[in-house]
Amino acid sequence: MAVKAMSPKEVAKKVMNNEELFILDVRNVDAFEDWKVEGHTFEYLNIPYFDLLDGVEEILEKLPKDKDVLVVCAKEGSSVMVAEMLSDEGLDVSYLEGGMKAWSEHLEPVKVGDLTDGGELYQFVRLGKGCLSYMVVSNGEAAVVDATRMTDIFINFAKDKNAEITNVFDTHLHADHISGGRKIAEATNATYWLPPKDAEEVTFEYAALEDGNKVAIGNSTIDINALYSPGHTIGSTSFVIDEKYLLSGDILFVDSIGRPDLAGKAEDWVADLRESLYKRYKNLSMELTVLPAHFMIIDELNEDGTVGEKLGTLFAKNHGLNIEDEEEFRKLVSENLPPQPNAYQEIRETNMGKITPDDEKQREMEIGPNRCAVR
C-alpha cells in the first residue's frame, strides 16, 4: 500500500471536529513528553525511531485496526520510514507532513462572533503552539492582534474578506513566539501599535499603544479600546472590542493566569499582575468574553473550536482569580512557574528588532509548547 501524508490542516480538522486518531510518535521519550500533537480523543504510543530500526513486528499488535494511525516525528523523515515499514506489514497508516515543525506553524481560523454593523471577529488557533491571534474585519478594513510570524495567512485571509489591514497590534512584547506584527504592517502599510513600556529597547518606529487609545476599524462603530494591564510584562495591554470581547493578551487565560518572570522581573511584577486581575479586570463587565493570547491544554477549546470564556465565569472558576491573601498569591505565582520558553531571550531580542535570524533559525527558536502561564 502507498503511504499517505496527512497535512497539519487535516490533523487540525480532526482536533476541531473531535475525531479519533491514533498517533505513533517516533521521537525520543523526553521530546514526546514535553510536547505532542494534542487532540480531545487522540491516543498515543511513543516508540523512539531508533528502537524500530530492526523492524516494527513487535509493535504491530499495539496499533489499532479500526482507527486512523498517524506516524509523527520532528521533521518528517523518520516518520516516513516507519510508515513505510508498517505499510509493508499490511497496515494502512499515514505520516504527519512536515513533522512537528510543520504542526507548530499551522494556524486554524475560527469565527468568534459578529460585531456591530456587520463586523466580524476571528480567532486564529495555533494548535501546535497554543498561540491565539485575532482579526477584526469591518467594512473593508481589518485589524490584527498578536500575529504570529506566519504572516501570509493573515494577509491572505484579509484579502479573501475584501478587507485592507489598517492596524496591527501586539498586546505586549512576546517572549515565547516571534511576532509577525511588524512584518504585516510593513507589507500592508498598516500602523503597528506596541505598548511603549515594552518598547524601550526596540530598534524600529511604532505607534504608542497606551491606556484609553481607541482605534476605529472600518466605518462602523466598532472600536478597539486599550486597557493598560501590566503583570506579564510591564507594558501588557488588553483590548475591549465592541463592548463584547476582552482580548487579555497573556495576563489572563481560561485555565490560569500569566507568568510575570519572562523579563527577569518576577518579584517586581507580581503586584502589577494582581492589580490588573483583581482591580482593573474586576471593574469590567462580567459579560465580556475573555479571549486570551494563548491556551495551555486542548481541553480549553470550546466545541466550536474557539478558546474563550465569560469574565464572570473565570472569576468564579479560575483559581488564579480567587486568592484573597496577597502573600498567598505571590507564593502561587512565584513557586508554580513552568520552565522558561525555548530561546525566550533570543525571541525577545528578535521582537525588539535587535537580531534578525533566518527562517530556519526562527523555526528552531519556537519549537516546543507554550509556557506563558502559571501552572
Q: What pLDDT score was predicted for residue 130?
A: 93
Q: Where are the alpha helices (DSSP H) in 127-194?
A: 152-160, 181-188
- DSSP, res 2: P
Beta bridge partner(s), residue 70:
23, 94
Q: Catalytic pick from 24, 37, 52, 73? A: 73
Do 230 and 276 contact (CB within 8 A), yes or no? yes
Helix (H, G, I), strand (E, B) or coil at 159: helix
pLDDT of 270 over the 90 cut: no
What the block records as the C-alpha cell of 235 is: 507594558
Active-site residue, 131 included: no
Q: What pLDDT score was predicted for residue 206?
A: 96
For residue range 286-341, list pLDDT tens digits in order: 999 999 999 988 999 999 999 999 999 999 999 999 999 999 998 888 777 777 77
Q: Which of 180-194, 236-250, 360-374 has the weakest average pLDDT?
A: 360-374
The C-alpha angle 186, 189, 191, rounded to 5 degrees, equals 90
Do 163 and 144 contact (CB within 8 A), yes or no? no
CATH no. of 4-103 = 3.40.250.10
Q: Which of 78-87, 173-182, 323-332 has the weakest average pLDDT?
A: 323-332
> pLDDT band at 216, cuts 50/70/90?
confident
Q: What is the mean pLDDT of residues 112-128?
A: 93
Q: What are phi and psi of 136, to 5 degrees?
A: -100, 130
Q: What pLDDT score was predicted for residue 188?
A: 98
Residue ranges covered by each domain of the chain: 4-103, 107-366
For residue range 144-154, list pLDDT tens digits in order: 999 999 999 99
Do 307 and 296 contact (CB within 8 A), yes or no? no
Q: Which listed CATH number (3.40.50.11060, 2.40.50.180, 3.10.180.10, 3.60.15.10) goes with 107-366? A: 3.60.15.10
Q: What pLDDT score was predicted for residue 264?
A: 61
**Integer Cα distance of 61 and 270 in angstroms:** 51
Q: What pLDDT score was predicted for residue 225?
A: 83
Do 220 and 117 contact (CB within 8 A), yes or no? yes
